Amino acid sequence: MPMIDINEVAVFIEEEIGPKFHFKRREKIDALTLDTIIKRKNPYLFKAKANNSAADFVRSVLEATVSSGEETAFGNFLEGFAIFVSEKSYGGRKSSAHGIDLEFEAEDIKYLVSIKSGPNWGNSSQLRQLVANFNTAKKILHTSGGAARQNIICVEGCCYGRDDKPDKGAHLKLCGQRFWEMISGGNESLYGDIIIPLGHAAKSHNEEITESITRKFNALTGEFINRFCHPSGEIDWERLIKFNSGKK
């Protein structure tokens, strides 16, 4: 089993972090429209907080939307990176099984891994679905020729965080250092080593993102005032509520 080369890790991150994360963030911001963000905001809550500022309304929704987009884009990047690490260490590959992201073999054991950003990713219903996905994948593999007698271990792999009771009965939950160590062939320092290349060029990317957010904020605020404010400048709540929640 080859030990993963930290230089290869750095090259992968530096080449992929731009198109898979930073560029996706900017695309998400540029694609936002006023109609989209208004439909995502609870106007009743905003009114209950006695806030009548058009700028505050747009800013709150814009910030929430950008934050959500960042989590999704970075989660997708981390999933691809984890598969890359496993591929270099064990010949791992993206799984075709429903709900499974990664599979690889090590020491006569087949690992089925569902990759999550952090340990608090889902509610009870989503956790039950995860276990169901694991059980279905194991059942299919146990009825196939080559894997019928193979020992299969299912893993809920979290890229960050900590869970000091990894044995969940039906599967293992490995977080942070434990997760990166497992998929990298025992590299105990990988979880910390990846911090440095993740920061390369981050400053210039973030400056571009900030400029994009400022332009979008100014444009959306101006449009909001024109469409949903009285001539006096106050928000026209009747018009806003009708657009947000009224029947077509």
Q: Which of 218, 75, 72, 248 is nearest to 158 (CA)?
A: 75
CATH number at 164 reads 3.40.1560.10
d(CA 54, CA 172): 48
Domain shared by 87 and 2, yes or no: yes
Give kind and range of the element (H or E) at residue 105.
strand 102-106
State both tokens at 152. 């299969």
Domain edge (last residue) among 137, 159, 185: 185
The amino acid occupying position 171 is H
Measure Cα distances from 72 to 3, 4, 68, 79, 215 in Å. Answer: 30, 27, 6, 11, 22
Per-residue pLDDT of the chain (248 residues; tens, 9 = 90+): 566 788 898 899 988 888 888 888 888 888 999 998 888 778 888 888 877 889 988 888 888 878 877 888 888 899 999 999 999 999 999 998 999 999 999 988 999 999 999 999 989 999 999 999 999 999 888 887 556 667 999 999 999 999 999 999 999 999 999 999 999 999 999 999 998 888 887 888 888 889 999 999 999 999 999 999 999 889 999 999 999 999 87
What is the pLDDT at residue 38?
A: 86
What does the chain come to in residues?
248
Q: Reduced to 3 DSSP states, what percent helix, strand and coil does the chain have, rounded to the nearest 5?
A: 60, 10, 30
| Residue 65 structural domain | 1-91+201-248
Domain shared by 87 and 206, yes or no: yes
- Residues 137, 100 contacting (CB under 8 angstroms): yes
Q: DSSP assignment, residue 167?
A: B
Structural domain contains residue 194: no
Query: How many separate domains does the chain show?
Result: 2
Structural domain contains residue 195: no
d(CA 238, CA 149): 66
Residue with tokens 């990759």: 115
